[in-house]
Structures are given as structure tokens and as C-alpha cells.
Amino acid sequence: MKLGRWRTYALAVLASVAVGASIGLAVVYCFKFPEINNLESYRPISNTLLYDDGGHIFGSLALERRVIARYEDYPKVLYDAVLAIEDNDFENHPGFKLSRVVSAAYRDLVTGEKVQGASTLTMQLARNLFLSPKRTFSRKIEELLLAVQIERRLTKSQIFTLYANQIYLGHSIYGLATGAEFYFGKNVKDLTIEEAALLAALPKAPNIYSPIQNPQLALSRRNLVINAMLTTGRITAADAAAAKRKPIELHIQDDPNSLAPYFVEEVRQYLERKYGVEQSHGGGLRVYTTLNAELQRAANRAVLDGLCAYDQRHGRSTPVPNVSDFGADPETYSALEWKRPIEVGSYVHAVVMSVSPSQVLLRFGSYSATAPESDVAWANDSTCRLRVGDIVNVKVLSIGPGYSSRAHIEEGSEVQGALLAIDNATGGVKAMVGGRDFSDSKFNRATQALRQVGSSFKPYVYTAAIAQGAMPDDTIVDAPITFKTASGPYSPHNYDEKFEGTITLRHALAESRNIPALKLAESIGIKNVINYAHRFGITGQIPAYLPVALGAVEITLAEHTSAFSVFPNDGVRVVPHYINKVTDYDGNVLEQSYADVQDVIDSRTARVMTSMLREVVLHGTAVAANQLKAPVAGKTGTTNDFTDAWFIGFSPTMTCGVWIGFDEKKSLGLKETGARAALPVWINFMKAAIGKRGSSDDFLPVPQGRVLVTQTTGDRPPMPQSQTSESEGHQW
């Protein structure tokens, strides 16, 4: 009896709904909703795309991760999958199906739940564009009325395109084209039946049916879509059976900014300052940058290889996390990075599956890996013994059949590194690494860290001397000396605690002798040296005391590297920049950069200094760079107590700087010089840079003979003590 009364009540309510809907439809056809007045020109929030110097997208800025596609970009198989599961009668109805609305309302009244279901594709679009997701009768009516207006204004293809670009698919992914790229690493046009079905399965509950978080639920839902495609006649039984037999195969794509996160962050900050947050992230800007993707990959690999080499020399100094810390099991633990393509030479986190005196077994994704013999002893060492479930960083050494591989376990420490590469001719930044891992630390050690530069500052001292008449073959005495300074007597020493007597300036710079550099600075005047450093683009405050000549001054890697580009650039500095051009979504140019060229030193001084810095590579502290078999030059730098290691060097076409150190100013360890810690990173990067450009270019020839100085900046150097002929040089 009670059930009968409920049914009577439900039917009365449904009748009221029907009457209300009829009245509402009359209203719809008489009036227009202001929310959809501009629907024809509506464009979803569009990502700002970042292009490298070859015109390829390498990053984006987004409030939502979304790729905008056209109707013709969506393949029929995806169109069919969406309609089969969401709205099979989409092409025929006027925006709603009254029978579905009434049926859903009756079910909800009987069960006592909030109204749900019954939404057509057009109604879903109306809800996503204009309404809240809150489930109420009034919202459902609004949804229906808006859907009718949308159908009156737009074609079915326009409606589907808006829906396909707007729908949420989980993991901050919006739009079916974005979903194809993120989940499968392919263009939406290339989707297979089972891939299209998986994307169509997600809008109902993206988090519940996520193939990353819940693969079994995702598989069941995908197969449900395939069955719907079969029952609606959109695919054959054979196609459906074949598609359902296939497992879900994901090729999760990297965070679009993972190639060059520190570079992207620099670009983001600039765009937000100039265009504001909303336009920078959602206005669909197209930003054409100076970055070279190939060189950036080389930079990433070079820095990580260098840091891991340091770790191997000094052992692990950071704790190893274990999957048990997250309440996980080694057999079932999964990491998002494992969904991405894994290549030989890449670095990835792996789970330790077993440790024995004879071998270490690891797992990352579908791969089972063994560690080389050298790692087995380390893993069993009592001071750092690995346990089952430990998460370690490994370098993939080889990949074999059946997902077998070999991987070297990296020991890990808190040491950091940075690299910056600049195109000499344009000033464009081609590669930037600001630290070991952007996800762990956003601090950019290439642009933000002020660190003492050590002997890599000496070229500014020698430049001041050469500019005022000195020649590379002039001699200077490398011997014990005490300088009188404002703070008292100063008795410096050389790195090797030895003195070489009378040597040439060329040799003194090549071997990074401290005493000659200090004597030159005192003769020229330390203020004059500082003036030259500022002319090179060093903007920070530099105290006027003698130890500055040995690099007792803090400079960023970005400024230091840019300054060195003056030498191969024949005395001019092209101000570094990241962006070549910015356009709006429609292609209108908002800004375009042009080279900002600054005269720093005359071409003779630049060429002489280039030849002297070339000597550093040929016979000096950077002799290891000779393996490049190409014209390169530069200067090592090491600070007191081996706190900072530097190498700033250049080829005729590119200047690159490398810094290695800890964030807190502590020693890298005995003999961790610029030549040992930083130079190998520079060499590995420059192999890629020179290989890309070729080694046919050479430095410009050095002018012959001594040039009479008629004008100087700051204090003049002393007159030579002895000079018999121009070719013999003079003594300082």
C-alpha cells in the first residue's frame, strides 16, 4: 500500500516535471540565454606553448593541460566510441531526450538519490561550460534548456568539437587530443579501437577509471565501451573481440616541461611579469625560444653523469627511502616515471628486489635489472647496506629481450651542479641546467646562486693587462711575495705550494699561477681590474681588495658565462636572452627580440686573450679538453677548501659554463678542483655541441706585434724593466 502511494507521488512529480519542461522549452525558443551569446567564438582555456629553436614544442604553461584540436583531427573511431557510451542518438536529438530525462527522474525519486544520468553530450557540454557539477533538479532543468539553445546555435560537429576539447580525463588532462598524447604518446588521429575506447571510458569518473591508478577498473570500463560500440553497430564482432583481448598499453608522456624545467621557469617568470598570469597560462601564447632540445638533453645527461661520478668518488651521503615508508610493497609499488619510455643511458628510480653476496636484483616498471659486480660489494657494505624495498637511483646500462636489463646503482649525495650554454653570435641560451632535480629544488643555480669563482676570474685580470699593452710572452716572476694591504700584510701562495721563477704571462694563466695574477692586479690597479669585470657584464658589487684577482668575489654562472663569450666574439658581448618571438593564439606578433650587442674590449685584446685561454686547454689546467680535437679554450676555477669547482670555456660558436658544489658552502673534498669536478661535465656537453656544429670553425687569428697603448682605463701599468726588442717582450 505504501509503495503504491510512493508511485502515485512519483508519477505526479514526473507529470509536473513534464509540464515544467514543456513551459521551459517554450521559454527557450522565445528567449536567448546571455551565457551563450558568444558561444560560436568560444575557445577553451588554451595552453601557452614553448617552441625550441627548431620549431618543436618542448614545454607549456597551463592552468589546465589542454591541446586544442579541430573536428577533422578527431578520428571516426574516437567519435564512435564517445557516442556509443555517452550519447548514441547524438546526431538526431535536439539537445535532450525526454524519455531519458523522465526515466532517470523516476529512478532517482524511487531511490531517494539526487538526480543523475540522462545527460546527452550537449547537456554535458552545457554543464561543463556554464554550470556547477552539483546534482539538483533545478540544475538539470537549466542544463536541458541550455542544451537546446546550444543545439539551435551550433552544428553537431561544432558541439562535438567543443565537448572533445573541454572534457576532463584525469591527471590535469583536458580534451581528448591531450589525452591521446598523455596516455599513449601519439597524435589523436592515430588512435586504435582499444585506445579510443579507453579515452571514451574516462569522462564518467576520471579518477576512478584512471588506467594509472586503477588499471583493472579502467580495463573493465574500456571493454564496456567496446561492447557498446559493438551493440550500436559501430564496429564488427571480430574487431570488438580483438580489441578486448589487448591489454592496456600506456606510454605516459613526460611533464611537458621536464626537458628543461629551469629554462621554462625563467620564461614563465618573464611572461607573467609582462603579460600577467592569466594570459601567460591560459591565453594560448606561442613562445619561440632560443633553447636547442638536442643540446638540452646533452646538458641534462652531462650534469647527471658528472654528479654521479662525484658520488662514486665520495660514497653515499643521503638516506635511501624504502617503499615501506609509503605503506607499499616492493612487488606492487609503481612510479609514474616508469610509464615513460626508458632508454639506455637514462636515469630512473628502481626498487631493490633482492640483495645477496653474488647479485643485486632491481625492478623499474616492467623491467627486471641486475647490477654490475662493482655494485654488489657496495650494496652489501655494512655502512650502507641496501635492503629489499629500497628506492635507488640507477643508470640504465643495457636493455635486453623480455624486459631484462642491467643498471648501475648511483650512490647519491647532496652535491649540486649547474650548466649554461650560450650561442656566441646571437646570445641565445641553448641549454640550461639549474640543479640536480627540479622536482626536489626549484632554486636555479645557473641564474640565482652567487658563488665565489676562484681562478676563473683571472682572465679579467689578464684582459686588463693585455688591453694596456702587455703581450702573452712578456715575463713575470713567480716567487714568494708579501703585499701590503689595508688589512695588513698578505702573503699568498700557489695551489701546488711551489714557485716557478720567471715565466711568461701565457704560461702563468695556463697553469693558473696565483702570484703572477696578484702582481699583475697590483701593477694595473685592482680598481681597473674591477672596471673591466663590470664592462664584461658582471653586475654585482666587487670589493676593491687584492684577493679579488684570485676570484674572491661572488658571481652567478649566467653572468660569468656570458662574460666569457666576449673572447670568441672579437670583443663584443651579445646580451643573453631566452625568447626570440611571442605571438598570440591567432599568430599576431606581440614581441620580437633583436640582438643587444655591447662593445667590451677591442678585437686585438679579445684575440690575444682567446689564444692565451686556448693555452689553458693545450698545456694547462684544462688539458683534458684536448680530447675534443677541436678549437676550444677556457679557464678552470677552484675556491679555497675546494668549495666551488668551475670551468668556463668556449668554441668559436658557443660558450658554456659549469659549476659544481653544495648549496651550503662546504668542501667538495680534497683535490675536487675545477679540472676534476666541473671540466668533465663541460667536455661531455661540448662533445654534443661540437658534433652538432662541426669542428671546421676556428678562432680568429691573433694580430702580430705589440700595439702602442694611447688610451687606458684606470691606472696605467708600470713601464717595462727591460726591453731589447719588440719580439723579446718585456718583464713585469
- Mind listing the pLDDT tens digit for each residue in 163-185? 999 899 988 888 999 999 889 98
507-550 pLDDT tens trace: 999 999 999 999 999 999 999 999 999 999 999 999 999 999 99
209-232 pLDDT tens trace: 999 888 899 999 999 999 999 999
Give burial (CB, 10 Å; 0-12/13-18/19+) of 689: buried
Same domain, 327 and 233: no
**Residue 529, pLDDT score:** 97
- Identify residue 228 by its one-letter amino acid code: A
Tally of domains within the chain: 2
If pLDDT is split at 50, 70 and 90, which confidence band does 129 have?
confident
Is the residue at 720 inside a domain? Answer: no
607-634 pLDDT tens trace: 999 999 999 999 999 999 999 999 999 9
**Residue 230, pLDDT score:** 96
**Residue 135, pLDDT score:** 55
Same domain, 351 and 230: no
The Cα–Cα gap between 504 and 526 comes to 21
**345 is in which domain, residue-wise?**
319-411
Q: Contacts from 405-408 at CB under 8 Å and sequence distance 24+?
A: 405/367, 405/368, 405/369, 405/370, 406/369, 406/370, 406/371, 406/372, 407/348, 407/350, 407/362, 407/364, 407/369, 407/370, 407/371, 408/371, 408/372, 408/374, 408/375
Is the residue at 370 inside a domain? Answer: yes
- Which of the listed residues 245, 267, 289 is the one where a domain comes to its end? 245
If pLDDT is split at 50, 70 and 90, which confidence band does 706 have?
low
Other CB atoms within 10 A of residue 679 CB: 26
Please pick, among 46, 455, 456, 651, the residue that the annotation labels catalytic. Answer: 455
Range 70-85 burial, b when 16+ CB lie within 10 A, else e = ebebbbebbbbbbbbb
Residue 262 has pLDDT above 80, yes or no: yes
**Residue 731, pLDDT score:** 59
Same domain, 88 and 233: yes
**Residue 351, pLDDT score:** 93
User: Of 714 and 61, which is predicted with more confidence?
Assistant: 61
Is the residue at 479 inside a domain? Answer: no
Centroid of chain to Cα 409:
24
- Identify residue 16 by its one-letter amino acid code: S
Give the angle 172-178-181 at the CA atoms, nearest 5°. Answer: 115
**Residue 386, pLDDT score:** 85
Same domain, 78 and 164: yes
Whichever domain contains 326, its CATH number is 2.40.50.140
Residue 60 has pLDDT above 70, yes or no: yes
**Residue 357, pLDDT score:** 85
Low-confidence winner among 270-279, 367-376, 450-459, 538-547 (lowest mean pLDDT): 367-376
Same domain, 230 and 327: no
Same domain, 104 and 207: yes
- Which of the listed residues 203, 224, 245 is the one where a domain comes to its end? 245
If pLDDT is split at 50, 70 and 90, which confidence band does 503 have?
very high
**Residue 107, pLDDT score:** 56
pLDDT cut 90: percent of the chain above it: 60
**Residue 94, pLDDT score:** 82
Residue 543 DSSP SS3? coil
Residue 297 has pLDDT above 90, yes or no: yes
- Which of the listed residues 393, 411, 429 is the one where a domain comes to its end? 411
Is the residue at 389 inside a domain? Answer: yes
Same domain, 185 and 68: yes
Q: What does the DSSP 8-state code read for residue 357?
A: S
Please pick, among 46, 60, 86, 280, the residue that the annotation labels catalytic. Answer: 86
Residue 68 has pLDDT above 70, yes or no: yes
Q: What does the DSSP 8-state code read for residue 721?
A: S
Other CB atoms within 10 A of residue 552 CB: 17
**Residue 113, pLDDT score:** 54
Is the residue at 509 inside a domain? Answer: no
Same domain, 226 and 343: no
Is the residue at 391 inside a domain? Answer: yes
If pLDDT is split at 50, 70 and 90, which confidence band does 345 have?
confident
Same domain, 202 and 325: no
Whichever domain contains 207, its CATH number is 1.10.3810.10
Is the residue at 586 inside a domain? Answer: no
Residue 256 has pLDDT above 80, yes or no: no
Q: Is 86 a catalytic residue?
A: yes
Same domain, 219 and 348: no
**Residue 337, pLDDT score:** 78
Per-chain mean pLDDT for the chain = 86
Is the residue at 150 inside a domain? Answer: yes
Residue 426 has pLDDT above 50, yes or no: yes
Grid-cell match 689546467, residue found: 621
Cα distances (Å, whole numbers) of residue 422 to 387, 419, 561, 652: 44, 10, 8, 11
Residue 719 has pLDDT above 50, yes or no: no
Same domain, 99 and 232: yes
pTM of the predicted protein model? 0.77
654-661/589-592 β-pairing: unpaired
**Residue 48, pLDDT score:** 92
**Residue 251, pLDDT score:** 81
Low-confidence winner among 10-24, 181-195, 303-317, 668-682 (lowest mean pLDDT): 10-24
User: Of 11 and 563, which is predicted with more confidence?
Assistant: 563
Same domain, 234 and 327: no
Low-confidence winner among 63-77, 139-153, 260-274, 370-384 (lowest mean pLDDT): 370-384
**Residue 458, pLDDT score:** 98
